[in-house]
Every structure is written in structure tokens, then in C-alpha cells.
Structure 1
Amino acid sequence: MNPQLPSAAKAKDQAKRLRTKIAEDGTSIGHAKSLELVAHQHGFSDWNTMFAAIGKAPLKGWAIGDKVGGTYLSQPFTGHVVSISTLKPEWFRLELHLDEAVDVVTFDGFSNFRSRIRGVIGPKGHSIERTSDGQAHLQIDLW
């Protein structure tokens, strides 16, 4: 996967998160402005130029051995892909081997460490399933 340029869906998701974060800091900007800021972050003069470079092409497939990182049940991780299957365009079932086991239990009196995890990842890099606080079970951040 190309770690430098996100897909169009990922870039739009970045713009949405950026707009939300800026709003939390007390400044309101429109979606178009946040798209422009994301384009600048990736070295483009504007959103249209960036979109022309990344287009609407679907995400490339994952490959066994790809290095990934993100969160699993709100715990940060890094690891690599050990198994993959394509379910439909841009949707993948991944099995990951983590560099370090993560504790998936938040209760202080109990632990459950996992070093292998499985999940279905969609076009925005996260699973559909959510924790009780609304976070995706599995979020892949390094593409």
C-alpha cells in the first residue's frame, strides 16, 4: 500500500476529523476549507490537484507481511498482516500479528492480552463494529 497518499475516502475522512478538531478549538471552517488543508498537508496546492492525483481508484489490496498500526479495542498497536481475504471491493478480512500483545480488558482487576487479532476493514480503514464509547473495534492508521 502507498503510505504517502491516502485514498480519496481516507483524505475526506481526514478532512472531517480536522474540521471537528478545529471546531473543538473554537474555530469553525467549512468542509471545502478542510479539504484544502488536507491537500496542503500532502504537498498539493489545492484539493482538486490532490484529487486528480489520487482519483477515485479503489484502495489497493493488502499483502501478507505489510506493516500496519492503529488501535484495537482502543489500545494502540503495531504489527503485520499474516492473512487476508477480499470480501468485496475495498473490504478486507485481515489477521494481524502484533509486535507486542495488547490488553483488551479495561477492568483493573483482570487482563486479557492478545498478540493475534482478526477483523474486517472497510474503505476508511476501520471495522463496522464499535465499542460502547463509539470507537471502532479495529482501526488501521498506517496504510
Structure 2
Amino acid sequence: MSFSLDTPSPATLKAEARALRAERDKAGTPITHSAALEEVAHRHGYRDWNTAHAALPDRIATPAQVGQRVKGHYLGQPFTGLVIGLKLLSDPNYFEVTVKFDTPVDVARSTLFNAFRHRVVATIDIHGVSPAKTSDGNPHMRMRRA
């Protein structure tokens, strides 16, 4: 079997299973985690979870993938956007992400002028949180999959 950049990792399928459980809980039809894993494996064309896990390549988990929609806060301002670049840094705990915002984000805290950003490059960890902080202690960026 050949793999492409579109081939999910076991970590991606586990995240899908967690999202499926949350969706079902919200709808009032809760399922177990193992049932969610089995359903996600079936959706991806595998006989069961064990077959999917054995067949999929182990890869480094990433906070997002290029082409994926994300949302969050950048310098305290809410945003939605598209990941147009993702690079693993020399410290494997951090990534450099490039996000193109759907609508420009005004990062100036002053009412005297505006500083709109259409695209930003930030360092984030696996959870989508920037290690760099603003003067009030908040991360420069908090991002998650939309």
C-alpha cells in the first residue's frame, strides 16, 4: 500500500473519534470510545480499528495540516483562516505555521491607529498554542481546527 500526504495517521483518526463522541454526546446518543474508533476506521475503508492502526504510517502529530481551516485568537483578536504553511522546527515540540486570515485582523490595541494583518507566521506547539506571550501573559496565538 502506498501513502500520500492525504493518508491520515493513527493520531488523526483518534482525534476524529473524539470529535465523533462529542458530536454523539451532544445529540443525546453517546457511544464508547472504542465504538467511535471502529466507526472512524470503517469510514476510512478499514475492516476495524486494529486493521487501520496497523496499516497507517506512524507520523509526527501536527496541530493542523496545510489546507485546513482553523480558528482561534491572534494577539487577543479572534480569527478564522486557512493554514497555508506548516513546518516542523528543529525542536520537534514546535511548528512554524502560516495562516491566511479570512478577514484581516486588527492587532493594534490603540484606538488611534489600525494595524491589519492578512497573513501571519507564528510558532506553535502541538496544541496550537504559541510559547511567546504578550505583555499581559497571553499567548501570541491560540489556534484549533475549525
Measured against the shorter chain, the TM-score band is 0.5 to 0.7
One of 19, 26, 38 as aligned partner of 2:40? 38
- 2:81–2:99 CA contact under 8 A, matched in 1: no
Matched positions, count:
122
1:103 CA drift (Å): 3.4
SS in structure 1 at match of 2:100? strand
Instruction: Please say if residues 80 and 101 of structure 2, whose CA atoms lie closer than 8 Å, have aligned partners that are also in contact.
Output: no
AA in 2 matched with 1:138: M
CA 1:40–1:112 in 2, change beyond 3 Å: closer, same or farther?
A: farther
Match of 1:137 among 137, 142, 146: 142
TM-score computed with the length of structure 1 as normaliser = 0.64
Could you tell me whether the CA contact under 8 Å between 2:71 and 2:81 is conserved in 1?
Answer: yes
Query: 2:117 is matched with which residue?
Result: 114
Q: Which amino acid aligns with 1:71?
A: K
Q: Quick check: 2:71–2:145 contact (8 Å CA) kept in 1?
A: yes
C-alpha change, 1:114 and 1:140, in structure 2 (3 Å) is farther
Alignment partner of 1:72 is 2:76: no
Percent identity between the aligned chains? 26
Q: Distance in 2 between matches of 1:22 and 1:68?
A: 23
Deviations 1:70-119 (A, max 9, x none): 223253212522x745143363122x1516444368xxx9x864212213
**Which of the pair has more CA radius of gyration?**
2
What's the C-alpha RMSD, in Å, of the aligned pairs?
3.4
Gap regions ≥5 residues in structure 1: 130-135
CA contact (8 A) 1:120 1:127 kept: yes
